[in-house]
Amino acid sequence: MTMLWLCLRFPHLAREAIAGHQADPRVQREALERLAAWAYQWSSLISCAADEPLLWLELGASCMLFDGHAALLARIEAELVQLGYSHICALAPSPTAAALLTRASGQRQVLTRTQLRQRLDCLPLHLLALPASTLAALHASGLRRIGQLLELPAAAIARRFEPETQLYLQRLCAQASDPRPAWRLSETYRARCEFGSDVRTSTALLFPLQRLLLEFQGYLRARDCSVQRFTLEFEHYRHPVSRMSIGLSAAGRDAAQFLILVRERLHSLLLPAPVNALRLQALEFTSPAIVQADLFGSDAQPLQQLQRLLDRLHARLGESSVHALQRHADHRPERGWRLAAPQAAAASCDHSAAPDTDAPARPCWLLPEAMAIDAPPELLRGPERIESGWWDQDDVRRDYYLARTGEGAQVWVFRDRRDGAWYLQGLWA
Amino acid sequence: MGALTLDQLARLHHDGEWRRGRHQAAPSGFAELDASLPGGGWPVGAIAELMPEAAGIGELSLLLPALSRLARAGRYIAWIAPPYLPYAPALAQRGLPLQRLLIIRTRNLQESLWAAEQALRCPAFGAVLSWPSTIADKNVRRLQLAAEAGGSLGILYRPPEAAREHSPAALRLRLRAATDGLLVDIHKCRGGRADLRLQLSVRAIPHLAHDDAVAVPAFSAPGA
């Protein structure tokens, strides 16, 4: 699958940290952590930069869900504006390139490698994230634009510079794998937001509170769960923290609803001193979150209804009539999935099964058993070689192809490399 | 707010037709299709029939964006007696949260219709998909009422011959393979225009980005 990386740069976070209210890089780190949790609702592959205010979101897998990248980007940016973060965003087929484009001016969205290469060609050399000594050496040899450097033979670059230089350039052009440490959603939510200065009135607390709650809402959406209780803590200089526990009669995940409750409570909360930081903490979550209460009427309890339905289906169709699906790590396509108990699925709030965007495409329909066919239909793409299973006496050696039948159906076929026979295994429905 | 334009009025009227004031349409994720459907999407609280010319032309991909949205909003998707295995790695790859999918096995048509009706009535479900080999008018009407009660989207996959029969379903679409996507004939559309033909860029084979397309290498068949 084509990866498409969105890189978000938050220049303001860096400035806040540098300007010296809080020289502590922890402020930047905490903000990035909150933003990563918030961003998880758009993409299940998120990465934070270690030393820069940068966040990467892999959007290739999510684009389809949100009407393509332009619509998705518009939604992400609209929420960032609502959250009140100034940001620069760039889209590129590699995270290295996306990060570079956030430093460039002009067009910051390139979708394909070809576009990327064209865009890089005219950008100045100093945008490259290479050591100053390397940049100086390149400059001294008369190079000014990235394109000039990319035109040099690889051997020449390898000879003159550290091996990292070559790797960096390949990653920049999306020609080498560019792995990023994946940021993981944590099981509990703890966010902290430190202010540049003391906040003395509860009205002035509302803006950072709203931001904190919106980020929290993003986390809840990403985990697809809701919350019935969370805690807010107000940190003071030389005073113990003030604590506020917010409870809801029914679990929810609507930041606006949370804010209304918090605001009500703020009226009666006596703060002993100015506030210099806020914390939000939630330890227990309700899942699955079927939270559109208005869809079901006020008396409806969808989870119970689901449970009652499962009971009825079991009673009439048999105990094994209802299943959920799981992926299973096995290279043999017919073993790449499993049935799971519906209750377990209903209770899970597990997003570890995130889309694997690097994996080759698979068809939505799989035949229960691969079907022998006489001759291959028109082959469109392939082969993808799958060899696996020697350890359990069920080894396969196959070449898979995308193919098209006479009726225009797109099928997934393979040739058994042991005897050359052709099989139909899936349909691209 | 200023005065409504004629367009908006027409849309309001259509919305009412779809959902009788209660349900919203579920955006299909295909702008052209949404523009042709009252309320701008699949008829929630009603039955839509899809009649693909053959299996494997994009008949599921057409639904996936809507299903993903519903599932991500926390609602379940029921697959009642699907004709093949819904392949978990592929569905996950296309963004469906697997924990929201329930596969219901049945032994005969009667059980399938019963299960479809039960699932449609349950508000926990956002969409219910079923593949009846044949279905009588009165049963479509039953499912239609169940969908209305549960506020979910009922999808019936039917053979292409069904287009010749009458059906009380709110929406009926014929699907054909096109060179680059899917040809959709709007056969019937309650509250909207029928006899429209759309070509949608439904991609049954995901992420075939141009710079990643691989040519089939020279290949010799065994014995050739």
Could you tell me the CATH number of the domain that includes residue B191? Answer: 3.40.50.300
Contacts of A289 in chain B (CB under 8 A): 74
Q: How many CB atoms lie within 10 A of CB A276?
A: 17
Contacts of B90 in chain A (CB under 8 A): 361-364, 366
Best to test chain B binding among A66, A221, A313, A407 (most B CBs inside 10 Å): A313
The minimum CA-CA distance between A412 and chain B, rounded to whole Å, is: 10
A337 → chain B, closest CA residue: B88
A72 → chain B, closest CA residue: B29
B103, part of any domain: yes
A121-147, pLDDT tens digit by residue? 999 999 999 999 999 999 999 999 999
Best to test chain B binding among A294, A364, A407 (most B CBs inside 10 Å): A364
Residue A249 has pLDDT above 60, yes or no: no
The minimum CA-CA distance between B69 and chain A, rounded to whole Å, is: 7
Q: Exposure of A290 by Cβ count < 10 A (0-12 exposed, 13-18 middle, 19+ buried)?
A: buried
Residue B211 has pLDDT above 50, yes or no: no
How far is residue B126's CA from residue A272's CA, in Å, rounded to a whole number? 49
How many residue pairs from chains A and B have C-beta atoms closer than 8 A? 245
Contacts of A305 in chain B (CB under 8 A): 122-124
A44 → chain B, closest CA residue: B95
DSSP state of A287: S
A55-96, pLDDT tens digit by residue? 999 998 877 777 788 888 999 999 999 888 889 999 999 999
Residue A344 has pLDDT above 60, yes or no: no
Q: What is the pLDDT of residue B224?
A: 34
Q: Do A1 and B98 touch (CB under 8 A)?
A: no
How far is residue A36's CA from residue A53's CA, in Å, rounded to a whole number? 11
How far is residue A347's CA from residue A24's CA, in Å, rounded to a whole number? 40
Residue B44's domain comprises 31-206
- Residue B206 dihedral angles phi and psi, to the nearest 5°: -70, 165
Q: What is the pLDDT of residue A358?
A: 67
The minimum CA-CA distance between A190 and chain B, rounded to whole Å, is: 23
Q: What is the pLDDT of residue A68?
A: 82
Contacts 24+ apart (CB under 8 A), A178-182: A178/A94, A178/A95, A178/A96, A180/A47, A180/A56, A180/A95, A181/A47, A181/A48, A182/A45, A182/A46, A182/A47
Residue A259 has pLDDT above 70, yes or no: yes
B120 → chain A, closest CA residue: A309
Q: Do B75 and A290 touch (CB under 8 A)?
A: yes
Q: What is the pLDDT of residue B6?
A: 47
Best to test chain B binding among A111, A325, A331, A352 (most B CBs inside 10 Å): A325
A60 → chain B, closest CA residue: B207
Higher pLDDT, B203 or A73: A73
B136, part of any domain: yes
Instruction: Provide the pLDDT confidence category of residue B130 given band limits of 50, 70 and 90.
Output: very high
Q: Do A365 and B60 touch (CB under 8 A)?
A: yes
B92, part of any domain: yes
Residue B215 has pLDDT above 60, yes or no: no
Packing angle of the helix pair A95-103, A113-121 (nearest 10 deg): 40
Q: Do B221 and A375 touch (CB under 8 A)?
A: yes
How far is residue B81's CA from residue B160's CA, in Å, rounded to a whole number? 19
Residue B84 has pLDDT above 90, yes or no: yes
Q: Among A317, A410, A421, whose Cβ lies nearest the Cβ of B105? A: A317
> What's the whole-number average pLDDT of chain B?
85
The minimum CA-CA distance between B118 and chain A, rounded to whole Å, is: 7
Q: Do A364 and B91 touch (CB under 8 A)?
A: yes
B48-73, pLDDT tens digit by residue? 999 999 999 999 999 999 999 999 98
Q: How do strand A422-427 and strand B85-86 relate by DSSP bridges? A: unpaired
The minimum CA-CA distance between A346 and chain B, rounded to whole Å, is: 6
Q: What is the mean pLDDT of residues A291-304?
A: 48
Handedness of CA A35, A36, A38, A43 (dihedral sign): positive
Q: What is the mean pLDDT of residues A369-394?
A: 87
Q: Phi-psi region for residue B59, left (φ > 0), alpha (ψ -120 to 50) or beta? A: alpha
B116, part of any domain: yes
A9-45, pLDDT tens digit by residue? 998 776 554 444 544 678 888 889 999 999 998 888 9
B118 → chain A, closest CA residue: A309
Considering its fold, how many domains does chain B have in total?
A: 1
Residue A366 has pLDDT above 70, yes or no: yes
Q: Do A361 and B29 touch (CB under 8 A)?
A: no
Tokens for A331, please give them. 């290279």
B24, part of any domain: no
A296 → chain B, closest CA residue: B123
Residue A109 has pLDDT above 80, yes or no: yes
A263-277, pLDDT tens digit by residue? 867 876 788 899 999
Residue A347 has pLDDT above 60, yes or no: no
Best to test chain A binding among B51, B70, B102 (most A CBs inside 10 Å): B102
The minimum CA-CA distance between A213 and chain B, rounded to whole Å, is: 19
Q: Among A297, A303, A402, whose Cβ lies nearest the Cβ of B124? A: A303
Q: What is the mean pLDDT of residues A172-191?
A: 91
SS3 of A309, please? helix
